[in-house]
Structure 1
Amino acid sequence: MTRYATPKLGAYVVLTALGLLASLIFARPELALIAVPFAVLLAVGLAYARKPDVRVHLELDRERVLEGDEITLEVELDARDSVARLELLLEIPRGLELVSGRNPVALRLEVGEERLLELRFRCARWGAYRLGDVHLRARDAAGLLAWDQTLARAETLRVYPRPEELRELVAPRETQLFTGNRVSRQKGEGLEFADLRPFAPGDRIRRINWRASARRGDLWVNEFHAERNADVILFLDSFADARRGGTGTLDQAIRAAASLSERYLIDKDRVGLVNFGGVLNWLRPGTEMLQRYRIVEALLNTEITLSYAWKEIDVLPRGTLPAKALVLALTPLLDDRTVSALLDLRARGFDLVVIEVSPLPVAEPAPGPSGELAFRLWKLLREGRRAEYERAGRIPPPRTRARLGLGVAAVATVAGVAVYGAFEADRVSLLVLALGAGSVALLVFGLAVPSPPALVGSLVGIAASWSLSAWTRGSGAPGGTILAAAGIFVAAELAYWSLEQASVPDEPELLARRAAGLALRAAGALALVSFALAALGLRAGGGLLLEAVGAAAAVALLALVLLLARAGHETAER
């Protein structure tokens, strides 16, 4: 895992340093009191922070599904050490839609705890998907340090196109020698009547046509058309793809190829595939269910690859295009290389059928008269290409409620401190109120964007507002400083907690635990500020005691900076 400091750590260091140094410079004890909770949280949080240890295992209930089906992915977590907050994000490829479960998710794990998360997806689009890249982000209890890790737990999911309903198939012009469901022109064993001929030695008795024999006074036998299969080659053009939104010509061509291959294989024909594009792929003709899976697997891996190389039919190996094969070409007629290759096939005598996957539904003319003119010229060019084929043959045409609530609580706390300081100020109350209102506005901006620097500026502003209010009342630290310091600390905790919800919202159980922890921190802040105030005395408006506190704070701040630098150096070495 890679360890790094969170923005909260940097902000708390800045707030502690500003509070203690400003207290030393301006001889105001309330500034030191405001910085005390932040300094203590930094010291305790960094002292007890440790690297988490979580094991992740993924399991899919099925590896092959059809479009529209739903699958379940189980994520098993095994915590070897306690984790105060663990954020888990599973990369979901496009084409899969989350039906149930939460992704990303934030939760808390105790030592030795095992947690099973179930995510249910709907396969909205065909394709070969790779599930399992899991991103983990763990935070310590104080939220000062974080650890990131990406786990490659690859699970392959293959979503096959759902076959479309085909009313009629294009019948091949020629058949092959193997038995099938096609009525051949040749005579042989079959069911379709072909002709009559005189009886010859070796003919079967059951083939004698007794009615014709009685009329002609001699034995005549029936001849039948042989039942053979055909070779069908699906020629897929993958040079170009016209796309708009979530659909394109390549998607439609692949869906059509999958449906055609299934129907021809059901009719016992041999089906092959030629993927003619930037990357050339092919499958020799085959039969039965195994060939169907081979074709669909090859279609799932089809993609557009940019290539400027001119390719012709001669690049295909011998046997890929058998003689007398029916070639079904699925193309948007956008690339000249495909147009030339198909004309070459037709010139060589192949039974060619061009199925145009029209790009017009996904194409729009550019705005203006010139765009309309260019669009019309492009359509005329397509008509010219169709004419070439017609001469060669015939063409068949997340914000969450938790984040909002935490943000509102932080803003309300800062606003309360600002209003309280304005009421307690002896002079310049409007200036104190204006400074507090500016801090509230800056906090709202920092939570909405979100912007950690804006949060730091807001907290500095509200601390300055309270310090100005206390300055108008003399040199002693007023009793309200206890509540003001604790309120500013709680507002900071709420604000950074709200920022964490922007990426991954907490689970209800984790929310309850963190709320209890925040209550304990608020009580601790009240106790710390009260103790520091009692140690300084209400009239500690400068002098040796305050300077000693400032010097100790400077030494502690230097030690904290050295500790952070050492931690960063250790992380870089790892």
Structure 2
Amino acid sequence: MARSDRGWRPTPAHLRALLVASFAMLAALVLHRPDLLVLGAPFATIALWAVLTRPRSSPTISCGISLTTVREGEATLWNVHLTRVEGMEEVTTVLERGVWSQLDPVSGVRTESLHDGEDDAGGDPARHTVSTAWRSLRWGQRNVGPGLVGATSSWGAFRFGPVELEPIGVRTLPLPAVFDTTAHAPHPQGLVGVNRAARPGEGSEFASIRPFQVGDRLKRIHWPVSARTGELHVTSSYADQDSHVVLVVDAFNDLGESEGIEGSASTLDVSVRAAGAVAEHYLHRGERVSLRVLGAADVTRVPPATGRRHLRRVLDTLAAIRPGTDRGDPDERLTRLGIGAGALVVMLSPLVSPVALQQAVALTSRGLTVVVIDSLPGDLAVPDHDGYGHLAWRLRLLERAREIRRIEQAGVP
């Protein structure tokens, strides 16, 4: 709720009307010019009308948003609610445009007239709502606002406000990129996924035809082979099992300029959206997915789980990443990962920080299957303020290529 302490105040237009009317009447009396009195009469009439219809009370103002969580590219409504006051004719709202956002209207200014018979969207005739569309262009925590709201009386003679409205936080989830693969994940564990296990069990993929054993189901009897051999034979299958996929996002650095979902992407944009795509793919297949973030403080680890609600939790954690905020001991990060045996580790990194490369090699040496995805854009623009920026970047790329060859030699694809 918000309320103006200054109430309704006269506008410059009302003061000009009073001044012109007073000057015209005074000049008509002094100069004996009735025509001046006729010219000043409309201004006096409007000023008197505005005073008689001046609102006697102040409206109560509140604001809110339709959605507190959106995806990249989605929009929500910033709604300003005002109680109707007798004599109030127009309402104007102004919403400040923040970074990585769009407004409709583009200026963020919206003016609406209050006509008799108009009701609020919720059906309350005593309240009026002014809505402005706000669209988020990049993942992360965003603010809608701050904003201003004001109202005017008839003829724009008196003004209420402007009243400042506090910003409202909105979480923008990353829009996953397109990802699909038919390759089976290694080391499946469990019995709910679609990966074929290395051992026989209940499943849908044919393994072999073998002699009947005690405990076999009658529906698995293969009658053609049984009739030909004279002994009962059954069909066996491979077990359908799930896998544990660990997503490791390198957030030590965010290189490049991000222009949101409609422009160029930084390295962290690529990593976050790719992580969301991989998580969505494996979770829809019934696999267990967990998330670890390197280089970002105040980001909780997401334990392995499956399902749609778990995908939302993964995307919420990705949206909360603030790059380069973790300055802890690099040697302790491996122990904090807590990745068990048999997991498939998918690391998304621009491969610029040596710590991420060391983590990949260390995880491989523990017997885990590690896949590193390079998220460095090929057209990354590097600022060159002193003439040596491009040269330094070329040297760093040569060092990076050498480091990548080393981890490939260590068995990390």
Say if 2:310 is the partner of 1:310. Answer: no
Secondary structure of 1:130's aligned partner: strand
Give the alignment of 1:63-142 within 5 angstroms.
63-78=68-83, 88-100=93-105, 103-105=108-110, 115-131=128-144, 133-136=146-149
Does structure 2 conserve the Cα–Cα contact (< 8 Å) formed by 1:57 and 1:153?
Answer: no
Q: Tell me how far apart the structure 2 counterparts of residues 239 and 370 of structure 1 sit (CA, whole Å).
A: 24
Q: State the SS of the aligned residue for 2:379.
A: helix
TM-score if structure 1 supplies the norm length?
Answer: 0.53
Bigger Rg, structure 1 or 2: 1
Q: Could you tell me how far apart the structure 2 residues matched to 1:388 and 1:2 are?
A: 68
Q: Which has the higher helix share?
A: 1
Q: What pairs with 1:137-156 in structure 2 (closer than 5 Å)?
A: 149-152=163-166, 154=168, 156=169
- In 1: Cα distance, 2:386 partner to 2:146 partner: 46
Q: How many angstroms does 1:87 deviate by? A: 6.4
Matched to 2:235, the amino acid is: N
- From 297, 300, 306, give the equivalent of 2:319: 300
Inter-partner Cα distance in structure 1 for 2:337 and 2:412: 27
| Residue range with higher mean Cα deviation, 221-230 or 189-198 | 189-198
- Deviation of the 1:285 alpha carbon: 0.5
Matches of 1:52 and 1:95, distance apart in 2: 39
Q: Is 1:222 the counterpart of 2:235 in the alignment?
A: yes
**Aligned partners of 1:53, 1:180: CA distance in 2, in Å?**
62
Distance 1:93 1:169, change over 3 A: farther
Name the SS of the counterpart of 1:334 in structure 2: coil
User: Secondary structure at 1:294's aligned position in 2?
Assistant: helix
Q: Return the structure number with greater relative CO, CA threshold 8 A, min gap 6.
A: 1
Q: Deviations over 1:215-259 (max 9, x none)?
A: 655444332110011111111111111022513111111111111
Check the 8 A contact 1:100/1:121 in 2, yes or no. no
1:284-342 Cα shifts (integer Å, max 9, x gaps): 01111110111111111112143433234444264xx2321111111111212222222
8 Å Cα contact 1:172-1:351 kept in structure 2: no
Opposite residue 184 of structure 1, the aligned amino acid is A
Q: Distance in 1 between matches of 2:237 and 2:271?
A: 38
C-alpha distance in 2 between matches for 1:237 and 1:170: 24
Give the match for residue 234 of structure 1. Answer: 247
Of the three residues 323, 331, 335, the one matched with 2:341 is 323
Q: Which amino acid aligns with 2:165?
A: L
Distance 2:98 2:57 in 1: 28
Count of aligned residue pairs for this structure pair: 352
* Cα distance in structure 2, aligned partners of 1:278 and 1:251: 14
Corresponding residue SS for 1:361: coil
Aligned residue number for residue 56 of structure 1: 61
* Deviation, structure 1 residue 378: 1.4
- Percent of residue pairs bearing the same amino acid type: 27
Aligned to 2:396: 378
Contact kept? 1:52, 1:83, Cα under 8 Å? no
Query: In the alignment, what sits opposite 1:281?
Result: 300
**Pair 1:210–1:176, CA change in 2 (3 A):** same
Of the three residues 185, 191, 196, the one matched with 1:178 is: 191
Task: Tell me what 2:23 maps to.
Answer: none
Matches within 5 A, 1:398-409: none
Give me the CA root mean square deviation: 4.0
State the distance in 1 between where 2:317 and 2:390 align. Answer: 39
What's the offset of the Cα at 1:175?
0.2
Instruction: Give the 5 Å matches for 1:344-493.
Output: 344-364=362-382, 366=384, 370-395=388-413
CA 1:169/1:54 → structure 2, altered by over 3 Å: closer, same or farther? farther
Structure 2: distance between partners of 1:108 and 1:213: 86
Unaligned runs of 5+ in 2: 13-50, 116-124, 260-264
Quote the Cα distance in structure 1 between the aligned partners of 2:210 and 2:183: 32
Alpha-carbon displacement from aligned partner over 1:390-440 (angstroms, at most 9, x marks no partner) = 012242xxxxxxxxxxxxxxxxxxxxxxxxxxxxxxxxxxxxxxxxxxxxx
Q: Is the 8 A contact 2:247 2:291 kept in 1?
A: yes
Match of 1:233, SS state, is strand
Q: Secondary structure at the match of 1:292?
A: helix
CA distance 1:349–1:85, shift in 2 (3 Å): same
The one-letter amino acid paired with 1:97 is: Q
Between the aligned partners of 2:231 and 2:91, the Cα distance in structure 1 is 94
Following TM superposition, by how much is the alpha carbon of 1:345 offset from its aligned partner in structure 2, in angstroms? 1.0
Which structure shows the bigger proportion of residues in strand conformation?
2
Q: Distance in 2 between matches of 1:288 and 1:161?
A: 18
Q: Which AA in structure 2 matches 1:151?
A: L
SS class of match (2:316): helix
| SS of structure 2 residue aligned to 1:191 | strand
- Shift of residue 72, structure 1, vs aligned partner: 2.9
Match of 2:286 in 1: 268
Shift in CA distance, 208/313, structure 1 to aligned 2, threshold 3 Å: farther
SS of the residue aligned with 1:304? coil
Q: Take 2:99 and 2:213, find their aligned partners in 1: how far apart are those partners? A: 68
Per-residue CA deviation, residues 441-463 of structure 1 (Å, 9 max, x unaligned), is xxxxxxxxxxxxxxxxxxxxxxx
Local SS of the residue matching 2:281: helix
2:120 aligns with none
Asked if 1:204 corresponds to 2:217, the answer is yes
Contact 1:343 1:392 in 2 (8 A): yes
Q: Quick one: which amino acid aligns to residue 241 of structure 1?
A: D
Amino acid in the other structure paired with 1:295: V
Contact between 2:68 and 2:170, CA under 8 Å: does it hold in 1? yes
2:269 is aligned with 1:251 = yes
- Contact (CA 8 Å) 2:203, 2:238: kept in 1 or not? yes
Q: Counterparts of 2:107 and 2:128 in 1: how far apart (Å)? A: 14
Shift of residue 158 of structure 1? 3.8
1:267 positional shift = 0.3
Whether the 8 Å contact between 1:58 and 1:153 is mirrored in structure 2 is no
Hey, what's the Cα distance between the residues in 2 that align with 1:135 and 1:331?
42
* Deviations 1:204-225, CA, capped at 9 Å, x for gaps: 3333344545665544433211
Amino acid across the alignment from 1:150 = E
Deviations 1:455-493 (A, max 9, x none): xxxxxxxxxxxxxxxxxxxxxxxxxxxxxxxxxxxxxxx
